[in-house]
Structure 1
Amino acid sequence: MKSVCMALLVVLFVSCSSDDGNSNKDYSLENQEEILSYIATNNIDAESTESGLYYVIDEVGEGDAITVTSDVTVKYKGYFTDGTVFDENTESAVSFNLQGVIEGWQEGIPMFNEGGSGLLIIPAHLAYGSNSYGGIPAGSVLVFEIEIIDYNAINNQEIEDYIAENDLNAMSTASGLYYVIEEQGEGVRPTSTSTVTVNYEGYFTDGEIFAERSANLNLEIEDILEGWQEGLQLLNEGGTMKLLIPSALGYGRYDYSVIPGGSVTIFDIELVDVN
């Protein structure tokens, strides 16, 4: 999984550009002609917005709604209307906040839900304008094929597959956390403000271990995983459990240390002490 810092620059807002003498030129009319010609030539059933953005929704997506302030994860291919590819990120995916990308993406991506896919055809005034940028000529129309990753659905399926393959008697909560209580324990049960001592091992669904240690944790501290905050309150002191945590309740969509963005994480936990 690539973070936004590792993505090719084309998805980011213009931070610098080369002044090629066209900095004040209005490309709107010629962009419009180019887009309409491209749509007709390729028999594309596109719709447009008042801003001049054209789009095709192949799949709306069944996941969460997206707003202009959302963090999203996208696979994409970017090219000019002549078919020349200037950027491609289709094998993996890139995560970013929509407030940090070109206007055409800010407007277009929220037309989809997570899990959606389609096409954005973006005139220059919603992209890089009248200056050349990163190999993109001034006034360019940009075409993007996009697929928006729905980690909630992907993670849930991964967890359910793992449970079936390992014959686990797992329960789930409304948040999407899965858990197996192996020994309930006979001591006190922690609350959301408790400090606890735990022994744990963390690993991915393929069995690769990424952590194994003891720790003292305050459950009300913000940087404790939400899956831990919720899951440990289901156990009593002296008990053991397995937590299967989707990325939304774990490390999120961005890479974190050795944990790739969007990862399901599993923890075998012994609740040693509750303060």
Structure 2
Amino acid sequence: MKIKYLLGVLLLFSVVFTACKKEYESIESVDERIIQEYLQKNGLNATKDPSGFYYVVTKQGSGELLKNTDSVFYRGEIKSLKTGVTYYSSSALHNLGTYVGYSATFVGVQIEAIQKVMLSVNRGSEVRILLPSHMAFGKNGDTQINVPENEVIDFKLTIYPEATQAERDDNLIKKFLLDKGLTAQKDASGVYYIVKPGEAGDAAKPVLPYSVIKAKYKLRFLDGTQIQESTDPIEFEFPRNVIPGWYKTIPGKIGQGGKIRLLIPSALAYGLDPGQDLTPNAVLDFDVEVTEVNAQPAGAVSAVFK
């Protein structure tokens, strides 16, 4: 009887131990199962990196493979693999920019898979990265962008084809003009501008490189989002308190009463440090109306408007 009792206890212990093993399945194993089920359900042929994440190149770029020392411009989108909820998406118009060697930092979190993938593709590529939770936001998630704990992440990486910010800005402006059916002239500074016939203003009162003017303006992103507007004239002193895109372009183009539209590359606007209302590396779309030219430097030569 004692032997039978002992065997029964051992059997019961074995059942309980097995159940505990299943209950405490590792998070790595759980994540792997979720990713495998997703791949099979959606018929995706993904490459598995030795570190544990998967990736699918959805668009192959051109040119040479990226290197750690290359400057790269890109955007990223963070979604839940299980629910499809988007937690974060950087704007298509306002790219992120850094060197490939520093690209592992995203929204303040180290995601090594981003840098690894960049080193395996070309400029212009688009890649989906399927990240186990421990390679993304871990057991604590991220309260800043509302990622829950132990979330498996579907990360969409879009790498832009341009090698410099100036090249990317110029392409964005040219695409904008084409899409909108607009004709603009390109200033030597890189700013594109439009002065409609009859809207150049008073040639006898031109805006010059050191003029003090009063002007009204509207400011938009290229997607049409209006972010600032001045309905009452504001005083500006060239070049002291205007952005480079203004003081390099407006003088010589219009005078008092004149109107001009400016499409300004980010380097001639607010660049990487735009302040609270704007976005880093943003191309800006200005409508400017000069209501008054108050002062001009002594001996200034009048501009001729065409």
Smaller-chain TM-score bracket: 0.5 to 0.7
* Distance in 2 (alpha carbons) for counterparts of 1:110 and 1:49: 13
* Distance in 2 (alpha carbons) for counterparts of 1:175 and 1:265: 16
* Distance in 1 (alpha carbons) for counterparts of 2:117 and 2:78: 14
Query: What secondary structure does 2:137 align onto?
Result: coil
Deviations 1:214-251 (CA, angstroms, capped at 9, x unpaired): 31224255xx3332132134447768451322463446
Match of 1:197 among 189, 209, 213: 213
Is the 8 Å Cα contact of residues 265 and 284 (structure 2) preserved in structure 1?
yes
Deviations 1:76-122 (CA, angstroms, capped at 9, x unpaired): 46123xx32343568x8796865534333753785789976441211
Match of 1:173 among 187, 190, 202: 187
Aligned to 2:262: 244
Deviations 1:11-62 (CA, angstroms, capped at 9, x unpaired): xxxxxxxxxxxxxx98556645654554355332334556544322323679
Aligned to 1:85: 84
Q: Which has the larger radius of gyration?
A: 2
Aligned to 2:176: 158
Is the 8 Å Cα contact of residues 189 and 249 (structure 2) preserved in structure 1?
no
Note the residue ranges of structure 1 that are not aligned, 5 or more in a row. Answer: 1-24
Q: Identify if the C-alpha distance between structure 1 residues 246 and 229 changes in structure 2 by more than 3 Å, giving closer, same or farther.
A: same
TM-score (norm 1): 0.56
Match of 2:229 among 175, 189, 210: 210
Q: Which has the higher contact order (CA 8 A, sep 6+)?
A: 1
Query: What secondary structure does 1:85 align onto?
Result: coil
Percent identical: 17
Question: In the alignment, is residue 137 of structure 1 matched against residue 149 of structure 2?
Answer: yes
Number of corresponding residues: 235
* Distance in 1 (alpha carbons) for counterparts of 2:61 and 2:290: 35
Query: What secondary structure does 1:264 align onto?
Result: strand
Question: In the alignment, is residue 265 of structure 1 matched against residue 272 of structure 2?
Answer: no
Is the 8 Å Cα contact of residues 261 and 285 (structure 2) preserved in structure 1?
no
Is the 8 Å Cα contact of residues 193 and 260 (structure 2) preserved in structure 1?
yes
Query: What secondary structure does 2:44 align onto?
Result: coil
Matching of residues 98-137 of structure 1 within 5 Å: 99-104=106-111, 106-107=114-115, 117-131=126-140, 134=146, 136-137=148-149
Matching residue's letter, 2:215:
N
For structure 1, which segment, 38-47 or 179-188, has the greater mean C-alpha deviation from structure 2 after superposition?
179-188
* Distance in 2 (alpha carbons) for counterparts of 1:216 and 1:190: 12
Is the 8 Å Cα contact of residues 246 and 264 (structure 1) preserved in structure 2?
yes
* Distance in 2 (alpha carbons) for counterparts of 1:137 and 1:40: 24
TM-score (norm 2): 0.52
CA RMSD of aligned residues (A): 5.1
Task: Report the alpha carbon displacement of residue 161 of structure 1 after superposing the two structures with TM.
Answer: 4.8
* Distance in 1 (alpha carbons) for counterparts of 2:178 and 2:291: 23
Q: Identify if the C-alpha distance between structure 1 residues 197 and 186 changes in structure 2 by more than 3 Å, giving closer, same or farther.
A: same
